[in-house]
Amino acid sequence: IDEFDKMDATDQVAIHEAMEQQTISITKAGIQANLNARTAILAAANPKHGRYDRTKTLKANVDMTMPIMSRFDLFFIVIDDCDEVTDRNVAKHIVDVAAGEARALDAPFTIDELRSYIRVAKKIQPVITDAAAKTLVACYRQLRQNDVVGRSKTAYRVTVRQLESLVRLSEAHARIHLSQTVEPDNVKEAFRLLKRSIISVESESVLLEEIDEDDLEAAAAVEIPNVGEKRPAEDEPESPAKPAPTEDSPAKPPPKKKAKVQLSYEDYTRYRALITTHLRSRATLDGVPGLKRSAVVDWYLKTHADEVGEETAAHAKLLKQILKRLQKDDLVIVVAHEDNEPVLAVHPNVDVADASAA
């Protein structure tokens, strides 16, 4: 199906059943029939504005509904980037086609041999082995976990349909090798294809400022606006004239610029999802209105000991920087003070599910 994004909505709805259940129901003249869908759908679509925007999701680039998108097993984004090797190969192939079809299609097998191979492969009905079934479950769990913790912004949410896609792709990979059983290697290859097709959005890295206790104390005294609400502009009072420096009172050195740490967007959203979910769960289940910053840092270092390793001090500093950004820039966390230590809580207007998927 070419120009799939330009199909009428009624036509797209008509193929829902064929794509999900591989059946077609027909009701005409009092006759009801269920037919098996015997073809796969290979569709091509164009981006909305002519070029694919890497900073947006696939849904934002292509005019397709989510129910239709979730029914496709694989997505492949073809981007026309300038690459010397690729451009040379494409140009060479086009010139070979113009020079003669035999020169361009120099395949190591004939068309009859390919047809015979496909005819034999389609008749095979591979059986999923116990080892392959365990691998399927493990791969599906990994897809779901990556989706829940917001490790990457993807084209769609991972549901049971992606598990069905894993099964279909594993069986198809077994047929390619003329195998009567689905082995773990077939499942792993299907998992690799599915992971590549869950298109991740490229986002700019997040810059984290050096932690400064004075900033947290000053911010805690400011009333936190609602999420999405802009802070009101405040008129800055005129600063009194400062006396010129003398020999007895030398000029003060200028304040040092705070160094910034660069963190990838995927890692930042993962930290954000884990922290906000933990704070909200403590408030909901245990009735704890907020946690001290040191308790949040200790909780993460303890629950992720394998990831932290021996770099405890570095991870503790990084977590404090992330907490500072969540409180000052994202307005996800509100801060109070108890025993001269910041107490953190998720802003009441923040939806933790949205924060996890951000």
C-alpha radius of gyration, the chain, whole number? 29
pTM for the model = 0.55
Give the number of other CB atoms < 10 A from CB of residue 101: 9
| CA atoms in the 13 A half-sphere facing the CB of 65 | 11
Per-residue pLDDT of the chain (358 residues; tens, 9 = 90+): 898 888 887 887 788 888 878 888 888 888 888 888 888 889 998 888 888 877 777 778 888 877 888 788 888 888 777 778 888 888 988 888 888 766 667 778 888 999 999 999 999 999 999 999 999 999 998 888 766 544 444 545 678 888 888 999 999 999 999 999 999 999 999 998 888 776 555 556 777 776 655 444 444 444 434 434 444 444 445 545 555 555 555 555 555 555 567 787 778 888 888 888 888 887 765 566 778 888 888 988 888 888 888 788 888 888 888 888 888 777 778 777 777 778 888 887 776 555 554 4
Of 270, 281, 282, the closest CA to residue 358 belongs to 270
Length of the chain: 358
Helices marked H in the chain — which ranges?
9-14, 16-21, 58-61, 66-71, 84-99, 101-104, 111-123, 130-148, 160-176, 184-197, 213-220, 265-285, 293-303, 305-308, 312-328, 352-357
Which strands make up the sheet holding 291-292, listed edge to edge? 291-292, 341-346, 333-338
Tell me, what DSSP letter sits at residue 327? Answer: H
Distances (CA, A) of 98 to 84, 103, 188, 201: 21, 9, 40, 38
